Amino acid sequence: MQKDDTSVVPRRSAQAVTPLKTNPKRKREGRLVAVERDKRADYDEFMIELKAHLEAVASMTLEKRIWEIYQHTSNADLLRLKWPLHLAFHMIPIPLTTPVKTIKGQRSARKAPRDERRYKEAYRMLLLEMFPASLGFYVREEVLATEEHHQSDAVDTGILFVIVWKDMPLLMVEFKDPDVLNPKSGRVKADAQMRRRLRVAVQEMVPGITSVYGLSAIGLNVRFYYAYKRADDKLIIIPAPVKEPADPTCLPSKDYLADQWLMKITDSKAVAMLRQIRRDIIAMVRAALEQAPAVLEEMLKLKLCDVDVDAAVAEREKTRLLLKALDTDVAVPFEGNAYVETYGIPEGEVTDNEDDNQGEYSHE
């Protein structure tokens, strides 16, 4: 038997394996790759959801899209117009521009003619709901001649609704084409025009009526006004106008450059203001009606020769029924209960002075 000459390899003693040294740069790059991968996954998921949403929107009618937005407001219980009124404003057609060729052969968009009449029915519906004839109100409409709607200076045109009670204007709503909103001069003229109307209306106030309201609308964008006389017979119109800088080289103030018609008629804050105006007007009418019986009784006691007793008694009964209607009035065109700051009288009153050198709509 032969001996195996194969040399036996001696065993190595176990040694601890040193770990690989980590490279900080490689570790940072790995984290960045992971972050980019997660971002890409989130983006892909977002795009899938967006595509599905756009496909769903594309299949909707315009009315259904408006309804979905309205539902969000409803779910939040914000103040809003009732659905038929809200829809009437947002379904107003916008005139499309038509392409025309210029002298040089270039194509440009022809400006659509200004025409406020397409807003008339929506505002009329709102005012009839706010101030129904059953409560003694009358919506008087003043419209310019048809040919005047297409004049170049549309600030001087427009449609005016006046809420009247016993021949006394209580709220004036004047609306114009949205094209007036773009130039600053158009907004300034629209503001001055509403102030002139308020001055005339305040002069016609009867006992018991203490203030007159105004709503200047340019398209769906609105601005609210409030006019009254103080105890010293000074006229107050709120908000005060923002003066134009006297020196044309000076920069105008932020208030002058600001757009005061940013609020839309269907915005929650605008609806809150409409609700407050309605409450104030009805309260004024109620106060005037409550004074009427005492005046009438005094006239009957004196037995004035020019007093028709039968007519006076009929008027007294009519006043009683109207007060009852005001007490039971629940048909308001608003919904929602969320609190929104309403229109009030600022602490710093500014008297209106139409004889001021700065112009008839400036203040002292």
SS3 at position 243: coil
Task: Please determine, for residue 9, whether its predicted confidence score (pLDDT) is greater than 60.
Answer: no
Range 238-267 average pLDDT: 69
Q: What is the mean pLDDT of residues 12-27?
A: 56
pTM over 0.75: no
For residues 315 and 110, which has the higher predicted lDDT (pLDDT)? 315
Q: Which long-range contacts (CB under 8 A, 24 or more apart) does 71-74 make?
A: 73/268, 73/336, 74/335, 74/336
For residues 53 and 236, the model is more confident at 236
- Give the model confidence (pLDDT) of 35-46 as tens digits: 788 888 888 888
Predicted pLDDT at 356: 36
**pLDDT band for position 173 (cuts 50, 70, 90):** very high
Angle between helices 62-75 and 83-90 (to 10 degrees): 130
105 versus 317: which is more confidently predicted?
Answer: 317
CA–CA separation, 234 and 343 (whole Å): 21
What pLDDT does residue 206 have?
75
Element (H, E) at 227: strand 221-229
* The predicted structure's pLDDT at residue 335: 86
The pLDDT of residue 345 is 37
Average pLDDT over residues 17-22: 54
pLDDT confidence band for 119 (50 / 70 / 90): confident
The tens digit of pLDDT for each residue in 287-314 reads 887 776 665 555 555 555 455 666 666 7
Looking at per-residue pLDDT, the higher value among 222 and 315 belongs to: 222
Report DSSP letters for 22-53, one per residue: P-HHHHHHHHHHHHHHHHHHHHHHHHHHHHHH
Q: How far apart are CA 350 and CA 239, in angstroms?
A: 9
Distance in angstroms (rounded) separating the CA atoms of residues 358 and 364: 9
Distances from the Cα of 212 to the Cαs of 36, 197, 229, 286, in angstroms?
Answer: 62, 10, 10, 15
* DSSP H or E run through 186: helix 184-203
C-alpha 214/C-alpha 241 separation (Å) is: 14
pLDDT greater at residue 70 or residue 349: 70
Closest CA to 198 of 219, 183, 213, 217: 213
pLDDT at 24 over 70: no
> Could you give the percent of the chain with pLDDT greater than 70?
59
What confidence tens digit (pLDDT) does each residue in 197-238 have? 999 888 878 777 889 999 999 888 899 999 998 888 888 998
pLDDT for 227 equals 93
Mean pLDDT calculated for residue range 65-78:
85
128-162 tens-digit pLDDT:
989 888 888 888 887 654 444 444 444 445 677 88
Residues 169-174 have a mean pLDDT of: 90
CA distances from 294 to 165, 229, 319 (A): 20, 25, 12
Q: How confident is the model at residue 286 (pLDDT cuts 50, 70, 90)?
A: confident
| Residue 126 binned pLDDT confidence (cut-offs 50, 70, 90) | very high
pLDDT, residue 42, reads 83
Average pLDDT over residues 239-251: 66
Residue 205 CA: distances (Å) to CA of 15, 93, 128, 163, 202: 107, 38, 22, 13, 5
> Of the given ranges (85-99, 115-129, 162-176), which has the lowest mean pLDDT?
85-99
Per-residue pLDDT at 28: 66
- Give the mean pLDDT of the chain: 72
